[in-house]
Amino acid sequence: MYNEDRPKEECGILGVYAPGRDVARLSFFGLYALQHRGQEGAGIVTSDGEYAYVHKGLGLVSQVFNEVNLKPLKGHIAIGHNRYSTTGSSNERNTSPYLIETIDGPLGVSHNGNLTNTITLRRMLLKRGVGLSSTTDSEVITQLLAAPPETWLDGYMLDIDGDFLDLWQHRIKTLMQLAEGAYSLTILTRNALYGVRDPLGMRPLCLGKLDGDGWVLASESCALGTIGATYVREIEPGEIVRIDETGVQSIIGKKSPRRALCIFEYVYFARPDTLLEDQNVHLVRQRLGRQLARETHIDADIVIGVPDSATPAAIGYAQEAGLPYTEGLTKNRYIGRTFIQPDDKLRKDSVHVKYNPLEANLKGKRVIVVDDSIVRGNTSGPLVALLREGGAKEVHVRVSSPPIRHPCFMGVDMATYKQLIAHRMDISAICQHIGADSLDYLSLPGMIKAVMEGLTDQSRGHCTACFSGDYPVAIPQALFEEDGSNVTFTGAWGH
């Protein structure tokens, strides 16, 4: 089947604190709005102040939940999770959120991101005698939180500053000293909801307010409107918020001199109606397109985008270049996953399963087609061929982000070094490979400029590692060698 050449986000997370409301139902609709961040599994955990309740499963949110299994999820606190995972490990065992019993009551954890020192942390847990039942670092985080810090191995002493911390804040803060990499968390305990972001703020997390009666935490602000909440602010990098009957309390979990929000959230992941760093993603994408036009423009008749994600950049490009924007490709909107394989004759046309050219708009035209990124480079060629088949006289590919030359180890399923086309080829070779008349990418400074333009704090940094190779955290050598795949320390699972 046709697979889009796109990086894959690892997860969407959610938290709701709303006495008097049906928090499981709110979570359902919130996860529905975050569905683009993970389609392989979904789950909700709730607490009614005494007991905790859980339901999770494989598939889309709308497939996992129905009125029958939603009903028992009682309470006024909830966390939710949409999971993306690579094919190999999409099994029940790895579904989130996790819910465990601890000495201090129930603990539920939803996690977006990827730790870079998972192997060390797994070993720490295993040595302490904790058996692990999955390969996820979400379970590692959950089990690390289960223990009172004083029981942690190796007499690890924490340099906790002077805050008065509750039981769980203490543990979360301790966890943040140990964990390296990217993590946004929503955590449920018997009586409170916590939201956490790693010190670099690599994965997003924001806070919203329900009309008079509660609070919402979500990976993206687009989920707030869906459930009738209004945007309040982002959770700060390194911040821990606790939400309970007394309201929202904030402490610093771990400070960092730098910020490193994943810039790919702007380029592709986030929904265009989401706010990141208080600026609208759609607008940033238009600016990326404008900047792209400034840097790479070539004479042409029309500008089109690869639907749907590249449309804002294409609109921006067209406006800047003073060329007509139109649609050149139709996308089949019914993306129900299929495992039917095309036969040999069809295989070379497999891009046709998803796209058809709009001959009426393309015929005889010199076409600039804007895409947001090229990862492996296996679909750009067929798309170019499709546009020519549709009558385009020239096809000029413009990419609204720089060449991707490095894998991600912080929670994005990008590709391995060997798979990244821009790691193996230079731009002219790629252009030839995909059969375009010309190919150009946005520059790294250009991308950063377009992003920064909407920010008041011009000192903010972002993670651009996949473009620049400048990783904001140390990456263990093993991960480079293993290409970042999840590693079971002792090799417990064969599948």
Active site residues: 11
As a whole number of angstroms, the distance between CA 411 and CA 47 comes to 28
The contact pattern for a second copy, residues 352-371, with x = CB under 8 A and - = no contact, is xx--xxxxxx----------
Minimum CB–partner distance for residue 469 and a second copy (Å): 32
Question: Binding of a second copy at residue 115 (CB under 8 A)?
Answer: no
Please confirm whether the linkage preceding 199 is cis (ω < 30° from 0): no
Tell me whether residue 67 or residue 426 sits nearer to a second copy (CB atom): 67
Minimum CB–partner distance for residue 233 and a second copy (Å): 16
Minimum CB–partner distance for residue 432 and a second copy (Å): 25
Site for a second copy in 228-247 (CB under 8 A): 228
Question: How many residues bind a second copy, per CB under 8 A?
Answer: 112
As a whole number of angstroms, the distance between CA 280 and CA 235 comes to 16
How wide is the angle at C-alpha 118 spanned by C-alphas 115 and 122, nearest 5°?
145
Site for a second copy in 250-289 (CB under 8 A): 271-273, 279-280, 282-283, 286
The contact pattern for a second copy, residues 290-309, with x = CB under 8 A and - = no contact, is ------------------x-
- Phi then psi dihedrals of residue 47, to 5 deg: -135, 140
Minimum CB–partner distance for residue 77 and a second copy (Å): 13
For a second copy, the binding residue among 10, 22, 277, 437 (CB under 8 A) is: 22
Minimum CB–partner distance for residue 254 and a second copy (Å): 21
Tell me whether residue 69 or residue 443 sits nearer to a second copy (CB atom): 69
Minimum CB–partner distance for residue 250 and a second copy (Å): 26
Q: What is the DSSP string of 171-236?
A: HHHHHHHH--B--EEEEE-SS-EEEEE-TT--S--EEEEETTTEEEEESSTHHHHHTTEEEEEEPP
Alpha carbon separation from 481 to 97, 293, 341, 417, 474 (Å, rounded): 29, 38, 32, 10, 14
Residues 445, 451, 457, 459, CA torsion sign = negative
The piece of 111-119, 139-147, 293-301, 442-450 that touches a second copy (CB under 8 A) is: 139-147
Minimum CB–partner distance for residue 425 and a second copy (Å): 29
Tell me whether residue 272 or residue 461 sits nearer to a second copy (CB atom): 272
Using alpha carbons, select from 123, 177, 197 the residue that is nearest to residue 153.
123
Tell me whether residue 346 or residue 429 sits nearer to a second copy (CB atom): 346
Q: Calculate the CA 451 to chain-centre distance.
A: 18
Angle (deg, nearest 10), helices 137-146 and 118-127:
40
The contact pattern for a second copy, residues 54-93, with x = CB under 8 A and - = no contact, is x-----xxxx-xxx--x-x-x-----------------xx
Tell me whether residue 122 or residue 173 sits nearer to a second copy (CB atom): 122
Using alpha carbons, select from 292, 291, 287, 262 the residue that is nearest to residue 277.
262
For a second copy, the binding residue among 4, 89, 90, 104 (CB under 8 A) is: 104
Site for a second copy in 406-465 (CB under 8 A): none
As a whole number of angstroms, the distance between CA 220 and CA 80 comes to 13
Alpha carbon separation from 445 to 437, 448, 471 (Å, rounded): 25, 5, 17
For a second copy, the binding residue among 33, 302, 369, 436 (CB under 8 A) is: 33
Site for a second copy in 151-180 (CB under 8 A): 151-152
